[in-house]
């Protein structure tokens, strides 16, 4: 028997056969939902070997390392109740964690609240860029929910939809999209002008496909304005939640798209690096979760023409949904996605 975990982080013991069966079931679930290819037998064998090794920690073979980017880095140490400014935080990411990129972000982590403090954010970015070497993103979430009541002027679709007020909800979303694009372009422009190496639209789609569409349109506008700007787009869910239902981008309905389909939309808009998400099911085992995660991530990477950096953290990418992700699960997810998931980065 081998120790592994449930998606909620609980330690469990499974036999090698049970682990293999769960990996296969996970892959089958991914194939069924996302309508993608299954994994070949040798990759199932590889994952089974990875998840049955008794060692606490595993790593990729030398030469298979990938780029590591960490979203929202500059506020994460503060969350650990460490009294630290954002620039020392970024320097720690560069020099202690040896991250390959870092990200300046405001604690609100949404574009809208950054608007009134944009000058302060620019100064922080300028200062950070003088004393760091690694590429620095400025990141925030499109967070379209902030444009509906009580935080914004539009009626709240999350309240309208359960009441069956579909037309009103759709109209509200359409207004929210326009406001969201304006703020994303405004903030991103200012931060790019301050010298940021790139802009990260993080947790895109959290308010459904209107959120995704707003980020795609904002990307288009930014690329038109600054052809050299680098845009990363990280997702929030494995499929795009259909909250409007009728929103298209380049002739494709955005609702319900899975990672391998999302990345093609991102490419069309001009995104440079794409960050897919596959959610954890906390009631299934980690082997089950890694099977479906790797299958969906690999399909995305194979379909992509741009670098793909999977989200691998609390509750996504084969990592249990706990605030303190255990190293045994995290390192295995990291390795599985680098070596089998064909990721360009994590």
Partner 1 sequence: MSSELFEQAARSVVDADVEEAKKLANQALEEDIPPLEMIEEGFTSGIVEVGRLFDRGELFLPQLMGCAEAMKEASGILKEAAAAAGEETAEDIEIVLGTVEGDVHDIGKGIVASILEANGIKVHDLGTDVPTNEFIEKAKEVDADVIGTSALLTTTMGANEDLIKTLEEENLRDRFKVVVGGGPVTERWADKIDADGYAENANEAVRVIQDLAN
Partner 2 sequence: MVISHALASGMGGVRTTGDLVARLQMSEGMRIEEAKEYVADKLDVDIADMSDPVIMDEVRKEYGIGRVQPAAGEPKGMEAKMNIAELLDIKINSVENFKDKTS
Q: Interface with partner 2 by CB under 8 A: which residues?
A: 57-60, 62-70, 93-95, 97-101, 129-136, 192, 194-198, 228, 230, 232, 272-273, 305-307, 312-314, 325, 327, 330-332, 334-335, 337-338, 343-346
DSSP-assigned letter for residue 137: E
Report what 175 binds from partner 2, partner 1, none; CB cut-off 5-8 Å by kind. none
Whole-number minimum distance, CB 39 to partner 2, in Å? 19
Whole-number minimum distance, CB 55 to partner 2, in Å? 12
Closer CB to partner 1, 101 or 170, in the complex? 170
Closer CB to partner 1, 236 or 343, in the complex? 236
Q: Does 330 bind partner 1 (CB under 8 A)?
A: no
Whole-number minimum distance, CB 92 to partner 1, in Å? 23
Report what 159 binds from partner 1, partner 2, none; CB cut-off 5-8 Å by kind. partner 1
Residue 38: helix, strand or coil by DSSP?
A: coil
Q: For 330, what's the count of Cα atoms within 13 Å in the CB-facing half-sphere?
A: 13
Q: Does 174 bind partner 1 (CB under 8 A)?
A: no
Residues 88-117 that bind partner 1 (CB under 8 A): none
Whole-number minimum distance, CB 278 to partner 2, in Å? 16
Residue-wise DSSP of 177-218: HHHHHHHHHHHHHHHHHTT-SEEEEEEETTT-HHHHHHHHHH
- Per the DSSP assignment, residues forming a β-bridge with 345 are 67, 309
Whole-number minimum distance, CB 245 to partner 1, in Å? 4
Whole-number minimum distance, CB 323 to partner 1, in Å? 6
In whole angstroms, what is the distance from residue 319 CA to residue 55 CA?
A: 17
CB-CB neighbours of 96 under 10 Å: 8
**Helix 327-339 to helix 286-303 angle, to the nearest 10 degrees?**
30
Report what 345 binds from partner 2, partner 1, none; CB cut-off 5-8 Å by kind. partner 2
Whole-number minimum distance, CB 243 to partner 2, in Å? 30
Closer CB to partner 2, 130 or 251, in the complex? 130
Binding mask 269-308 for partner 1 (x = CB under 8 A): ------------xxx-------------------------
In whole angstroms, what is the distance from residue 316 CA to residue 281 CA?
A: 9
Whether 192 and 137 have beta carbons less than 8 Å apart is answered as no
In whole angstroms, what is the distance from residue 176 CA to residue 174 CA?
A: 5
Question: If you count them, how many residues does the chain have?
Answer: 346
Q: Does 243 bind partner 1 (CB under 8 A)?
A: yes
In whole angstroms, what is the distance from residue 140 CA to residue 136 CA?
A: 13
Question: CA-CA distances (angstroms) from residue 143 to 14, 23, 113, 205, 344?
Answer: 40, 34, 10, 8, 26
From the centroid of its chain, how far is CA 156?
A: 25
- Binder of partner 1 out of 63, 164, 227, 251 (CB under 8 A): 164
Which residues lie below 8 Å from residue 117, measured CB to CB, with a gap of 6+? 106
Binding mask 10-49 for partner 1 (x = CB under 8 A): x----------------------x----------------
Whether 270 and 223 have beta carbons less than 8 Å apart is answered as yes
Whether 53 and 69 have beta carbons less than 8 Å apart is answered as no
Report the greatest alpha carbon distance in the chain.
Answer: 58
Residue 209: exposure state from Cβ atoms within 10 A (0-12, 13-18, ≥19): buried
Whole-number minimum distance, CB 205 to partner 1, in Å? 11
Report what 104 binds from partner 1, partner 2, none; CB cut-off 5-8 Å by kind. none
**Binding region for partner 1 (CB under 8 A):** 6-10, 33, 145, 156, 158-159, 161-162, 164, 166, 169-170, 206-208, 239-246, 255-258, 281-283, 314-315, 321, 323
């Amino acid at each position: 028997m081998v120790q592994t975990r449930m998606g909620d982080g609980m330690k469990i013991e499974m036999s090698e056969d049970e682990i293999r069966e769960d990996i296969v079931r996970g892959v089958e679930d991914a194939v069924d939902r996302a309508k993608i290819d299954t994994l070949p037998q040798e990759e199932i064998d590889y994952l089974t070997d990875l998840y049955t090794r008794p060692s606490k920690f595993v790593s990729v073979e030398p030469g298979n390392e990938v780029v590591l980017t960490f979203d929202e880095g500059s506020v994460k140490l503060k969350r650990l109740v460490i009294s630290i400014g954002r620039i020392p935080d970024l320097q720690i990411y560069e020099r202690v964690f040896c991250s390959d990129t870092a990200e300046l972000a405001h604690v609100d982590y949404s574009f809208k609240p950054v608007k009134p403090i944009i000058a302060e954010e620019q100064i922080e970015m300028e200062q950070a860029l003088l004393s760091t070497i690694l590429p620095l993103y400025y990141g925030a979430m499109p967070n379209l929910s902030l444009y509906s009541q009580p935080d914004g002027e539009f009626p709240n679709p999350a309240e309208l939809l359960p009441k069956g007020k579909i037309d009103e909800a759709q109209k509200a979303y359409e207004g929210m999209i326009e406001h969201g694009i304006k703020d994303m372009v405004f903030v991103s422009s200012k931060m790019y002008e301050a010298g940021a190496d790139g802009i990260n639209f993080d947790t895109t789609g959290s308010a459904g496909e209107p959120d995704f569409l707003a980020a795609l349109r904002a990307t288009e506008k930014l690329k038109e304005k600054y052809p050299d700007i680098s845009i990363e787009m990280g997702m929030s869910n494995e499929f795009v939640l259909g909250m409007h239902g009728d929103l298209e981008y380049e002739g494709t309905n955005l609702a319900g798209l899975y990672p391998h389909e999302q990345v093609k939309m991102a490419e069309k808009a001009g995104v440079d690096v794409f960050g897919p998400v596959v959610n954890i099911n906390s009631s299934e085992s980690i082997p089950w979760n890694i099977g479906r995660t790797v299958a969906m991530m690999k399909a995305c990477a194979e379909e992509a023409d741009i670098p793909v950096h999977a989200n691998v953290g609390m509750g996504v990418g084969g990592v249990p949904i706990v605030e303190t992700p255990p190293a045994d699960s995290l390192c295995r997810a990291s390795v599985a996605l680098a070596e089998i998931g064909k990721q360009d980065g994590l």
